[in-house]
Amino acid sequence: MSNPAIELIIWTDANRVPLAKAIIDQLADRATFLAVGGERQSAVTDLARDLELPFDDDLRKLIIDHPPAGLLLLSNEEVSIKELTASAEDQMMVHAIEPVTSTIPQVNPTTIQCGLLPRFEQCSGWAQAADPLSSLGQLDQIHYNNLSPQTDASLFAKLVDSWEHILSMVEMPTDVDAVLTSNVAIPESLEKITGHLSIQARLASGGCIQMVLSDQAAMSRRQMMLLGNDGQIIVTDTQYQLYQPDGTLIDQWESQDAPPSYAQLIAENWFEVLNKPYAQVADEEVRLKRRKAALGCAHACLISARTGESETPGRVLELQV
């Protein structure tokens, strides 16, 4: 149901202005945008002027002058933990397209309160599958692809979202092997990774996880395949198929809509959580533990890609906590 009374602010840098405009267009008849903030660059100030909205490059001042129900960060530049804390104290829902920190000791109730968008667990295919794990029995293998061009989600965001989603289904892997192919040197910082990332992780149960993530792909696609001893399921943004181990199709669903764009995914996920802020929100302690575990796995992947050797996420987590 439309609710134009929902008042929002979007914060962006010059590179993400086209994305900001697309998100605002998607929500134009369902929410009211109060202001645009971000870098004081012509592309950003022009966006605010074209939309006839106030602009400021001071986030704290922006949300004091125009208190919104929701704030979306398309850029984490010039955004401090102190400002996020103040936003949380104002009961504002803050979301971002990248985790606000890759540093495990900085994971706290404030930083996890800044929700990550878009999430695979919020896509139509996963939602329609309802409880996709209930028919699979013991989960043996997880295969996940998350590919997109550079104009969409960063590789860092994909990596954290992928691990958080997977760790909601299985335990932390005992070790990971990762290969990152890129046209630039592999960085030391998770925020700066780019290219094609392949990951294989071993579970203590004997199962495994395989992922292919890319922010340099020619197409956009998210697909997860879960292989269990009682069943198998394939889920994408727009469909799912559930099979018995012998190949018998048990259930399926396919959207009549075209695959959503990156802007559509963000807009729809954002609007959904703004309207249902307490729906399916995990306990804070669970979210803290899962984000730290996901970052431990992400750092282990980066270390493995840099060294060419397996890395243990649990050891990485212990060293950084």
Residue-range definition of the domain harbouring residue 57 = 7-96
| Phi, psi dihedral angles at 93 (to 5 degrees) | -90, 120
Say yes or no: 92 and 140 in one domain. no
Number of residues in the chain = 321
- The answer to whether residues 90 and 127 belong to one domain is no
Q: Are 74 and 11 in contact (CB under 8 A)?
A: yes
Among candidate residues 63, 117, 109, the one with its CA nearest the CA of residue 85 = 109
In this structure, are 181 and 223 located in the same domain?
yes
Q: Phi and psi of 132, rounded to 5°?
A: -65, -20
pTM: predicted TM-score of the whole model, two decimal places: 0.92
User: 5 pLDDT exceeds 90?
Assistant: no
User: Do 312 and 186 sit in the same domain of this protein?
Assistant: yes
Residue 190 located in a structural domain:
yes
The answer to whether residue 72 sits within a structural domain is yes
Taking a C-beta distance cutoff of 8 angstroms, is the pair 246, 262 a contact?
Answer: no
Rounded average pLDDT over 34-49: 97
Measured over all CA atoms, what is the biggest interatomic distance in the chain, rounded to whole angstroms? 61
Does residue 237 lie within any of the structural domains?
Answer: yes
Residues 34 and 172 in one domain: no
* 63-121 per-position pLDDT tens digit: 999 999 999 999 877 677 777 777 766 778 899 999 989 999 999 888 888 889 999 99
The number of domains in the chain is: 2
- Report the pLDDT value the prediction gives residue 282, as an integer from 0 to 100: 66
- Residue 245: C-alpha distances to residues 64, 226, 234, 249 (Å): 56, 12, 13, 9
